[in-house]
Amino acid sequence: MIGKIFGLTLALGSGLPVGKEGPFVHIGAIVASLLTRITSACRYQAFFSSEGREMQMLSSGCAVGIACTFSAPAGAVLYGIESTSRFFAVRNYWRAFFATTCSALIFRFANAAIIPPEIGFNF
């Protein structure tokens, strides 16, 4: 999975026509999957013991990838629920919305720090 993250990053950075949405969704899902594996191996084993919880994390990870791409947290939550799950508990909407809002803000600030916005005056 780590190799896929590096491969997608390099493919996107090299200018290959893979699109921006797909790699971000994959990376978000991979990070969610790794988080569930790490936390299930640690002391939080009971929280991620069910397959339903893992699918909710995967859905939120996909939504985070879409939120980073389009900076649209509400749409990202709806996309993540639509594409990855058949059943999604209402209490998890707020968790996914919080995760997508934070990721969209962090991505926007990080992107602005790396690539400063161009301000030009056309006379």
pLDDT tens across 88-107, in order?
A: 677 778 888 888 899 888 88
> Are 77 and 102 spatial neighbours (Cβ–Cβ below 8 Å)?
no
**Which of the pair, 20 or 70, is modelled with greater confidence?**
70
**Which of the pair, 117 or 73, is modelled with greater confidence?**
73
- DSSP classification of residue 116: P
Kind plus residue range of the DSSP H or E element containing 28: helix 21-41
Please give the share of the chain, as a percent, with pLDDT higher than 90. Answer: 1
Distance between CA 103 and CA 95 in Å, rounded?
12
Residue 47 confidence (pLDDT): 58
Q: Which of 65, 82, 4 is nearest to 29 (CA)?
A: 65
> Are 33 and 61 spatial neighbours (Cβ–Cβ below 8 Å)?
yes
DSSP codes, 70-106: H--HHHHHHHHHHHH-S---THHHHHHHHHHHHHHHH
Distance between CA 80 and CA 96 in Å, rounded?
9
pLDDT tens readout for residues 6-15: 887 788 778 7
Other CB atoms within 10 Å distance of the CB of residue 111:
13
- 0.75 exceeded by pTM: no
